Structure 1
Amino acid sequence: MNSIDRYSGFAFEVFWGNHIVSANMLILKSLNEGKSDALTLLPKIDLSWLGGPNMIKKINGLNTFAAIPNDNLLHFKGFESEERIRVLLENSNDMISVLDITGKRKYVANSNSYKRILGYEAEQLKDQNVFDIVHPDDAQSLQTLLNEMIDGKTPHKTVVFRAKRNDDSWIYLEADVNNLLGNPLVEGIVVIARDITDRVKAEAQREDAIASLRESEDRMQSIFRVAPTGIGLVKDRVLFYVNPKICEMVGYQQDELIGQSARILYPTQEEFEFVGREKYRQIAEHDSGRVETVWQRKDGSLINVILASTPIDLNDWSKGITFTALDITDRKMAEKALQESEEKFRKIFETSEIGISTNDLDGRFTNGNLALLKMLGYSLEEYCSLTIKDISHPEDEALDLLLYLEMLDGKKDFYTIEKRNRHKNGHYIWGQLTSVLVRDGNGAPQYVMGMFEDISKRKETEETLHEREKFIQTIIDTVPVGIFTVNKAGIIDFLNPAGQKIWQGVRYVGVDKLTEYKGWRLSNGSRVEAHEWGSAKAVMRGETTLDEEIEIEAFDGAHKIISNSGIPLYDDDGNINGAVAILQDITERKKSERALQQYSEELKAAYDATLKGWSNALELREHETAGHSQRVVDLTIEMARRFGFSEEEIVHIQRGALLHDIGKMGIPDSILLKPGPLTEDEWVVMRQHPVYAKQLLIGIPYLAPALEIPFSHHERWDGSGYPLGLKGEKIPLSARIFAVIDIWDALGSDRPYRKGWPDHEILRYLKEKSGVLLDPEVVKVFIELINGRSANQG
């Protein structure tokens, strides 16, 4: 038996493993039952160590105690009376009671604590069931605990629940519940409870703070993950954290960066060291640093970055430096482009030949380039003292102001007008002004830029053209020639007074109100439709010129002859869209021309008859065979057509062939008619007859074009002919043709001294002389002609 068993009469296990207060209850109970020796043992017991939340206190020189952990060995000394123990229990901070298996209180050790904590008087506690004051939400868990203790499953448990105070308010209690139902000295459940409302509230606040902190941390982590700005942490310039944006910026994965020196981000050691020095210098001076630098991506490309850094702890940089990284590559490129653009604009502004100025929204000039100042004669200072109104011509001011205000009101971004600006010396200069409203990035108007191009010379030209147009219009209106325009559809757009007069009184002309051509009926009764009309045909065919004469019938039966000349009109794309035509009544002129033509024909016939007479006279004088001249003329005309001569040219060739020997009229009969061979001197005279022909004919304009054959038909291909000794193609073609024909007819004709040659011998002779005396091409064509005739005759 130990000292507790010996002196208290209680078994040791009553004290061991139970709360000290439970022991108190046993002691109090034993005192109540008359076991006074419990008091005598207390001074003899040494209370060594109590521990727990309440420490040993000195009250009147006695050792006192309160609730301490269950697993401490309890020793007592200094308690001398039952009353002292009661005082100690009644003044305990905890509420101490014993419950039966229903939860009803069997014993309350300290009613003062109940009154202080729950507000109940001692009388109210009698027979009170603990579940009467337990919050409904906590009752089930306490009932479960009670059942477990009744079943002996749970010897001890500390629980927290809500209890209702006497004033109906709720507080939190923490209770140490000890199962002593099986102890015959207690036979109940000992509950030692204390008010922990403040602690619960504090813990709730702490939990709220922790939750808020965690939420804040989660929020910050979320922000870090999705932030459009790079965020990181370095310690001693080693990367401890980087967010996804930094990885995106430099092309590395997080695990490739974390733990690496920040040097991995820099293209050079020099740049890495510079950023470090500058960053830490700024942090030392301003608690934060901002540096613009260059980073190198994993692929080797470079990006421009602004780094902003600050320590986690300003007093201890070793805890790390947080930083943000903003990729400004695009901005730098934009700034560079802007600088280049501004430089280009500055150069344009300074060197442009067009006047450029700026003015504020009130219309006062703020700048002007050299071209504008030179144009208007102002210095920059003088110009910037003026407003738009100061230099505008009074007649232009209203329109300029209207457009300017519309631009400021947002109805347009720019406008262009032609206006006059005042020169410093007072005269006005015409110009084309384009005003542009310049806005800031938010769309707010900032200022107006104006571009003023000097168009004075153009205006002078336009004025000259206007005067010329008036002059031309006057001519068109007064000229005695009809002028009209017609569109592609055949509609007459314009007809001047003279044209109207020409059509006046004309039957079937079909001009409906001078706008639409209906066609007309000619004097022979046939109708000419619009699409057949000369002007319309010119439009449709794209003819560059039109020249036709039409005869129309008037109401009085008289006929008019109209000259209609014109050209098509083209649009800007080169497509024909109409025509302009000139009308002229040429009736009287045509009558005169017809009379003249008749006279000309009569005169021509007289000339031709005269020439024929000369030719016949020559034949008679030379005793030529009858018809020689006509034969050579016919062959020459046929050959000329084969060589492509025009009919007009053939007329002159015909006359030349007819007069080929006209020069022989100057040769004496003694030589011309000599029956025998000529002497050398006589040949000299004979060879002059082409010269005589030229002298005879050149003075007659009507016959001058016919000189080629009379003057050159004795020239030879090899240059052996006369009178000039021409060679090859220098001999006129008509003369070369006639030379072949003249030989053909001469050799084939009978002479007093010989018979004419057969055709085949003449042809053989021509072939022999081809390329020698005669043009080989002419000989070839002539032989084809003769052979063709022979074939036809056969």
Structure 2
Amino acid sequence: MKPIKANSYKDFQKELGKLQAEHYHLQSIFKVAPIGIALVVEEKIEFINDQFCSIMNCENNNLIGKNFKDVFPDNEEYERVFKKHSEEIKNEGICKIETKFRRQDGAIIDIYLSSTLLDPDDQSLGTTYTALDITDRKNTERKLHTQIEQNEQILKTTLDGYILTDTEGKIEDVNQSYCEMSGYSREELLQMNIREVELQLSDKRIEKMIRLGRDRFETKHKTKDGVILDLDVSVVVMNFVQGPLVAAFIRDITKQRKAEKELKKSEEKYRSFFEYNDAVILFINHEDQTIYFANEAAVKYYGYSKNELIGMKISNINIMHVDTIKTKMREARKKKQNYFVFKHKLANGEIRDVQIYQTKLYLNDQELFSIIVQDITDQKKAKEEIRKKEEQFHTVIEAAGDAIFVADFETSRILLVNKQACKTLGYSQKELLTKTIGDLDPEFDEQNHRKNIWANLDEGESITIEVLHKRKDGTVFPVEVRTGIIKYNGNKAVLGFARDISERKQAEKLLRESEEKYRLLTETSGDMILLQDLNGQILYINQTGLDFIGTTRSEIEGKLITEFISQEHIELMNKRTEQRLKGDIRTCHYEIGIKLNPDQVVPLEIISSPIIQDGNITSILVIARDITERKRTEIELKQYREKLEELVKKRTFELEEKNKELEKYNDMFIGREFRIKELKEKLKIFEDKHNDKKL
């Protein structure tokens, strides 16, 4: 720096005033600068601006005079930054590094830190540090990285092929599924153009993709060994700064198309078979529900001529509404069901019950339904008579939740059982009808007094006893049997309603043995814990659950759990219960809402596990946790993710601009400091001379 010359003490005073004014002006600029600025001399913080205080979440006097090392989370991080600072200052005169600061409240934040010596020739004057809080940017980058890794994992594991190309067709990326599909290695494909495997790709198709941004079509690819594959392709065009890229998801439909062609070839072969078959056969057009073909048997059955039948709407024959017919046919395709029972009207107006067997076929590039019509009017009437006679008795028997048996009074041979009895004992109905009561009750033959009990009962009387039953697999379980004497097919018989009480017995035993052991565990848990039976009735709930819902044990136990579930999740709970009733023993994780009051629904994370005794599900253990805060966080993350790309670009641009501005401020600050120092020294010399003259 060049020395400042002055001809008099007055000139020095004037120059010093200017420099001091500029110094105060520069300090004001630093104070309001949008990035944190600190001056550190011999590891002590001598100056910080307001933005540095804001970053550290503290007042100015909390940092001034403190060791600069204190702003770092630990000595290791400080030493890392100081080492890099020393190396880069020596080589380049400035150091830029990403690091971490510990704020006054203890929070660790990400910082972009720049440093430079106030005077490269005199390190004792200190170091200027500028700090920019990049915590949000770093968090965003971490989330982006996680999302990218998840997407890459999906592409690697999907069964569909995936290819990424530029608009010229050069392959930029490919997954393992397509490599296996095409026979090429990943390395080979990345050196190829899509046109080398794609046989039907045209410039017009590419223009359409780019214009619309997406497309779906069928095409053909040639494998490495020359095999031609039929493929279903879904394309999405993604626009990036460097240019658009085309992502294609590819599914091999070669076998499907081959099967369709073979089916088409066979249609004509079987046409003559349909025409002269004795069964009533119609072909129905799938689109407009008109009769496309009718054989001679159909003409004879319905009483119309062939010309009248061909082209006739099926709704003219089927007395159901056309929308109902279409709905049932759609349901048939979904369920892969090939028959229905309808009422058809003949040409003479007579209504007949018919059973329709349906098959889909293709003829002349049309999708048709082949239906075979079987008249079941007489059969249905006979079955209806039998059904009415048996309906009442069997409805009661089959609807019962208990196992029901009817046995011959004299021989004890089983004459009738319901489905619940088969389910409980593990036998088919046919097997049980070959058994006697003694085959099911291991103590029956040894304690013949039970026969004496039957003998003392009059018809219509009943008695309840506890006995043991043996399943097909040999396991023995306790049952409660209500037995009585009835007439069955004109003969004296024994009617028994048997209820499995294994759960009750086991529950009583478990309660006696482990109630105190588990009571403390569940009652002190921070999560809500409850036990429900397979009907959804709450058997137990811990204190945490009671406090959360705001009720007492006597008010909630015995009620259905669906009484506390939000309306939108009741169907989910009922579905879970049905799965348990069918024997699903998996531990399930799902989310529901619980009603704390009519206006408040709180989201819960549920872990549901079955309680299994003797191979059967007896109850369900539910652990619930309030996830209100997590849901709120997920919403916020979604909002951040949507603005992520814009935020990163914006913050990067701001950082570059602020660094430029800071370098400008640094140059101004360093120059002014040296000028002020020099003027002070000159002023002192003049003052000394002036004092000497006075003496």
Structure with the largest fraction of strand: 2
Higher relative contact order (CA 8 A, sep 6+): 2
TM-score (norm 1): 0.38
What's the TM-score, normalizing by structure 2? 0.43
